[in-house]
Structure 1
Amino acid sequence: MSLVVLGIPWDANSSHLHGCAAGPDAIRAALHSGSGNDATEHGLSVVPKLSDLGNLELQNSVGDLDANWADANVITDAVDAQIAAGNRVISLGGDHAVTYPILRGVAKHHPKLTVVHIDAHPDMYDDFEGNPLSHASPFARALEDGCMQRLVQLGIRTATTHSYEQADRFGVQMIGARQLDQFDASTLDGPIYLTVDLDGLDPAVAPGVSHHEPGGLTVREVLDIIDALPGPIVGADIVELNPSRDLVDMTAMVGAKLLKEIAGRMLTVG
């Protein structure tokens, strides 16, 4: 098995601010900066084991739904092709809209997928501002398409009445930031896909996001979640880094740290 890193510079479907298209390169710069090294916390030198595919070429055209569907298809096809070639993909967004087309590609190969989703927001709006591809809607689209058998959301702290209705509709397990002790990773059935929205962390440790939502997870809590995941972990993404909002590259460094630890976990649990 090879681990590949795929940059997806797509933020045309952001609802508040744009800038997440610059996220993949910011995480790469942090990953290779001189302030750290290649090892995970468990001593695995993981960075040399990553094959970086660079960034997808996308139109990223704000307000052009046809162009955005075309971009979504490019993302799905790229992920599909990598898995068909025997690789596992860690994607760097972009906003959270990238996860729906990614999951379409993953589900072609793993029809009984469990998705673990770390976020401040449920991202299950049926129709947000008339855009079915909004970064507020990826899991509604993925659930409608049958891309997973189970969705577990962790760190949620902005759920609306509609979000709870959607969770009931699709049988989603939504665990708030106050209830992390209710998360039992041993109940997860593989294969597992992990998606990390950086605004799931508290903005005190990850300020470089478009939507600041105080009261979030610590970096250590997210690392503990990663370490608890059973295998096989067949893919992952890290999304919503907006470098224009970052402070001294703090959030980019968090993204790079999570990339290393996720990759290490993928390599050690199969």
Structure 2
Amino acid sequence: MKYPLSPDVKPEFCTTGTYMRLPSSRENAKVAILGMPFDTAASFRVGARFAPQAIRQASMTLFPYHPIHNVYPFEDTKAIDIGDVSVIPHNIHRSYEQIESAVLELMKNGIIPIGLGGDHSVTLATLRAAAKVHGPVALIQFDSHTDTWDTYYDEKYWHGSPFIRAYEEGLLQPDKVFQIGIRGTLNHPGDIVASHELGYQVITTQVLKQRGIKDVIKEVREKIGDTPCFLTFDIDFVDPSFAPGTGTLEVGGFTSFETLELVRLLIDFNFIGFDLVEVLPPYDPTQITSLLAATLVHEFASLIALQEKRGETSISGSSAER
């Protein structure tokens, strides 16, 4: 974009309703933004159903170029925004069917989804779709909670149980699941032990701080390798002073700068999908949480753009050798 602006350039407050004014369709799309506005499985605060549009609105202040990775993430991937999945607010299983169907169609067509939650229960539906296309996948989970609790008031499907259900359904490769940033008080020591018993790797905030993010990401990269990998990001990974608009706050987290630095290290993975969950606009009066979420979506798309470039370089190199 050149300055001074030409008359055909829209101000940031003039929006089409999509993320960064992306089109809803175009040929050869590699990335699709889609909203998953389901929050009926939340255990405390609700309101994440309003997050997809809040994140899209916050994205209007972002610019198209990523100066760290040297990519135009949404042009390089021909990204689209297909709107929101038509969830059923009072029925989690029918909502799962709707989300799974939408994600499955994208993945079958070689399009990497970036889902905008919604509470964290929506990730289970996406993992069901991913497993149908890729088989059991690796998982990188940024979160302050493990979300491997079995039941809540005798209900097995809620935002605290997607990753125990995913284990039971065989959607994940347990030895390639990393739950990063876990912190806060617990009901009992078994809360983290439960994840270990599933074979998951739990890296608490304290351990992440002590070891350093580069060392931890190196371990994650070595263990996951080229396995198809899904990244799920619960905004409560971030300290509430930087992301107050969420449902289950935990103090002692990472700053927004530290969070971006961490995500930017996630190169050389085989990502097949992303989601960002638990943003609650009603508790985000200054929109700083929505802006951080929108920026993280920009980061995710940049990782895919790098992934695409790496693939093109690999194909080109192979051709040259032949």
Q: Deviations over 1:145-164 (max 9, x none)?
A: 11110210111003542322
When residues 166 and 105 of structure 1 are mapped into structure 2, their CA distance, relative to the original with a 3 A threshold, is same
Please list the CA deviations of residues 35-87 of structure 1 after superposition, one character each: whole Å capped at 9, or x if unmatched. 331222434222443200100111111xxxxx211111111111111101121
User: Is this contact kept in 2: 1:73–1:101, CA < 8 A?
Assistant: yes
Deviations 1:198-236 (A, max 9, x none): 001000111111111100122233223322222211100
> Unaligned stretches of 5+ in structure 1?
62-66
Match of 1:58 in 2: 87
CA separation in 2, counterparts of 1:27 and 1:15?
Answer: 22
Q: Distance in 2 between matches of 1:41 and 1:254?
A: 17
TM-score by length of 2: 0.78
Number of residue pairs matched by the alignment: 263
- Supply the distance in 2 between the matched residues of 1:198 and 1:89 (Cα, whole angstroms): 18
Query: Relative to structure 1, is the Cα distance of residues 15 and 7 closer, same or farther in structure 2, using a 3 angstrom cutoff?
Result: same
Structure 1 residue 179, shift from structure 2 partner? 1.2
* Distance in 1 between residues matched to 2:180 and 2:255, nearest whole Å: 12
Match of 1:177 among 187, 205, 224: 205
1:37 maps to what in 2?
Answer: 63
Per mean C-alpha deviation after superposition, the further-off stretch among 154-163 and 23-32 is 154-163
Secondary structure of 1:168's aligned partner: helix
Counterparts of 1:207 and 1:40, CA distance in 2: 26
2:73 pairs, out of 18, 27, 46, with: 46
TM-score by length of 1: 0.92
In the alignment, what sits opposite 2:104? 80
Whether the aligned pair in 2 keeps the contact of 1:125 and 1:162 (CA below 8 Å) is: no
Matched, 1:92 2:119: no
Between stretches 17-26 and 156-165, larger displacement belongs to 156-165
Report the equivalent of 2:257: 220
Q: Is the 8 A contact 2:137 2:171 kept in 1?
A: yes
> 1:120-160 deviations in whole A, cap 9, x for unaligned?
11100011222222101110111111111021011100354
Assess if the C-alpha contact under 8 Å between 2:178 and 2:220 holds in 1: no
2:34 touches 2:113 (CA, 8 Å); kept in 1? yes
SS in structure 2 at match of 1:266: helix
Q: Which residue of 2 aligns with 1:258?
A: 296
Cα distance in structure 1, aligned partners of 2:132 and 2:259: 28
Q: Secondary structure at the match of 1:109?
A: helix
The separation in 2 between residues aligned to 1:87 and 1:244, in whole angstroms, is 32
Number of the residue aligned with 1:101: 125
Amino acid at match of 2:84: N
AA of the residue aligned to 2:274: A
Within 1, Cα distance between the matches of 2:67 and 2:35? 24
Where does residue 10 of structure 1 map in the other structure? 38
Structure-2 separation of matches of 1:167 and 1:185: 16
Of structures 1 and 2, the larger Rg is shown by 2
Check the 8 A contact 1:41/1:261 in 2, yes or no: no
Task: Tell me if structure 2 keeps the 8 A contact 1:231–1:266.
Answer: no
Tell me whether 1:209 sits opposite 2:246 in the alignment. Answer: yes
- Secondary structure of the equivalent of 2:54? helix
Cα distance change of structure 1 residues 22 and 9 upon mapping to structure 2, 3 Å threshold: same
Q: Distance between the aligned counterparts of 2:295 and 2:118, measured in 1?
A: 17
Q: Does 1:194 align with 2:231?
A: yes
SS in 1 for 2:133: coil
What's the secondary structure of 2:172's corresponding residue?
Answer: coil
Q: Is the CA contact (8 Å cut-off) linking 2:73 and 2:304 kept in structure 1?
A: no
Distance in 1 separating the partners of 2:67 and 2:122? 28
Pairing partner for 2:182 from 156, 166, 182? 156
Q: Is the 8 A contact 1:46 1:263 kept in 2?
A: yes
Contact 2:117 2:275 in 1 (8 A): yes
Task: State the match for 2:19 in structure 1.
Answer: none
Give the deviation of 1:166 after TM superposition. Answer: 1.6
Runs of 4+ in 1 over 3 A off after TM superposition: none
Name whichever of 189-198 and 214-223 sits farther off. Answer: 214-223
Counting aligned pairs with the same residue, the percent is 30
